[in-house]
Structure 1
Amino acid sequence: MKKDEIRLGDTVRAKVKEDMEHVFTGKVQKKYENSALLEITDYDPSDKQNAAELNFKIVINFKAVTKNLGGGHDPEPEPQPDEAQSPQK
């Protein structure tokens, strides 16, 4: 899946052979250039030990995302300094 197709807060299904043996579901916490930090929310019972060892968090490449279930939001723009809000002298 492409970076532009995934937003913060989206729930996604992913498969990462190195860390989890089965497909799992996670919520996007942070996006990087080619990957995302997920909070693991649902997993196969046989992966309980793996998820616990990862503290229920994992960084995955966007290519590992098999399905985007949505629910996220676009990041809010950072507030710009405004002269009207500056303190009076």
Structure 2
Amino acid sequence: MYGMAYGVVDTVERAVVAELSGTATSYGVYHALVGVGSLVCGLVVGWLWESVSPWATFGYSACVIGVAAALVPVLIWGRSSASEQ
């Protein structure tokens, strides 16, 4: 199930990169940002787990996911209103 979900999300992200730019440089920048973001996230989560508690790690993850979920409609609305102008 994780592999299927990852395949769907990864495909959509790459399609967005291709739609917005489509150059090899844009793919490189995209993957560099994903790698740096994963590294930073892993360090923060690891520090929370070891220094604070596992519950703090899950709470932090829930907050980040909540903020991301709340921003999705805002970003979609902003993109659709910009394309209408």
Range of TM-score over shorter length: under 0.3
Q: Which has the larger radius of gyration?
A: 1
Structure with larger RCO (C-alpha < 8 A, sep 6+): 1
Higher strand share: 1
**TM-score, normalization by structure 2:** 0.21
Higher helix share: 2
